[in-house]
Amino acid sequence: MTDTAEKPVLVSTDERGVMTIQLNRPHRLNALVLASVATVRKALEDAQTDDSVRAIVLTGDDRSFSSGADLQAKAEAEGESSGSLLDDVNEIIMLLKDSSVPTVAAVSGAAAGVGCSLALATDYVVMNEESFFMLAFTKIGLMPDGGASALVAASAGRHRAMRMALTAERVHGAKALEWGLASELVEDSSPLERAQEVAASFAAGAPLSMAATRQAINEIALPTLRSDLNREVVGQTHLLGTEDAQEGATAFREKRAPQYRGR
C-alpha cells in the first residue's frame, strides 16, 4: 500500500492558490473517522493564515463525496466517543462558513449525512446528475447533525429540508440544482475539474471583496449556525443514549429492518 493510499485525507495547493482537500477512504465511500475530520480541520485552519491559499476545493472521489460518519468504525473503536467526531465536524462547518477565502465542493456520488453538511457549508457546489444528497439519520433512530438541519433548510427551504430529513430521499443532480442544494450541474466534465476551475476564478478575484461578500451572505443566511450546531449536539447526544438508536445501529450492521419502540 502506498503512502497516499494510507492517508485518509489528501491536501495540496496548486500554483493558482487553489487548495484541494480530498477525502481519501474510497473503500468506505469516504466515510468519516476521527483522523479524517482532524486532518480536514487542520487544513482549513492552516488556510486561514496562509496567504498563498486563495480558494479551497473540498472533494471525495468518483464514487462518493462522503457517505457520512463511519458507523462500522465507530462500533469497532474502543474509547472513541461520538461527541469527539461531531465536535470536530462542527468546527469544520464553522470554519467553512467563516473562511477568509471562497470554498467550493466537488460532489461525485453520495453526499450523505455529515457528508451532505460538509458540501452545503461551502460557498459553491458542483455536482453531476448521478450524484446525490441524502439525510438518513431518522432511519437509524437519530437526527440530522453537523449543521444539516440549518444548512439544508437555508439552501432548499423548510419543507424540502423536512422531506429530506424525514424520508431519507436521495436528491440527485437536476433536482438538487432546482432545490438550491447545488450551484452548478456538469455533464461533459468531472465535478472536480469544474470545481477547480471555479475555485481558480475565485482565487484570481479581489480577496477583500470576496471575503466581505461571502461574510455578508452567510451572516444573513446562517446567522445562528453556532447555536444550531449546539442544539443538534444536545438532541443527538440524547438520541444516542436511547434503545431506538442502539437498535438502529445494530439493524444497520446486520442489514435488517429495525424494530423501534420509542424509548
Reported as a single tens digit per residue, the pLDDT across 98-119 is 999 999 999 999 999 999 999 9
Residue 189: per-residue pLDDT: 77
pLDDT band at 210 (very low <50, low <70, confident <90, very high): very high
Residue 129, pLDDT above cutoff 80 = yes
3-state secondary structure the chain: CCHHHHCCEEEEECCCCEEEEEECCHHHCCCECHHHHHHHHHHHHHHCCCCCCCEEEEECCCCEEECCECHHHHHHCCCCCHHHHHHHHHHHHHHHHHCCCCEEEEECCEEECHHHHHHHCCCEEEEECCCEEECCHHHHCCCCCCCHHHHHHHHHCHHHHHHHHHHCCCEEHHHHHHHCCCCEEECCCCHHHHHHHHHHHHHCCCHHHHHHHHHHHHHHHCCCHHHHHHHHHHHHHHHHCCHHHHHHHHHHHHCCCCCCCCC
Using 50, 70 and 90 to split pLDDT, how confident is the model at 84?
A: confident
pLDDT band per the 50, 70, 90 thresholds, residue 188? confident
Confidence (pTM): 0.93
What is the pairing mode between strands 103-107 and 171-172? unpaired
Architecture in CATH of 3-186+207-221: Alpha-Beta Complex (3.90)
User: What does the alpha-carbon distance between residue 203 and residue 13 come to, in Å, rounded to a whole number?
Assistant: 12
pLDDT tens-digit profile of 57-70? 999 999 999 999 98
Per-residue pLDDT, 1: 43
Examine the pLDDT at 198 and tell me if it is beyond 80: yes
**Radius of gyration of the chain, Cα coordinates, nearest whole angstrom:** 18
pLDDT of res. 217:
98
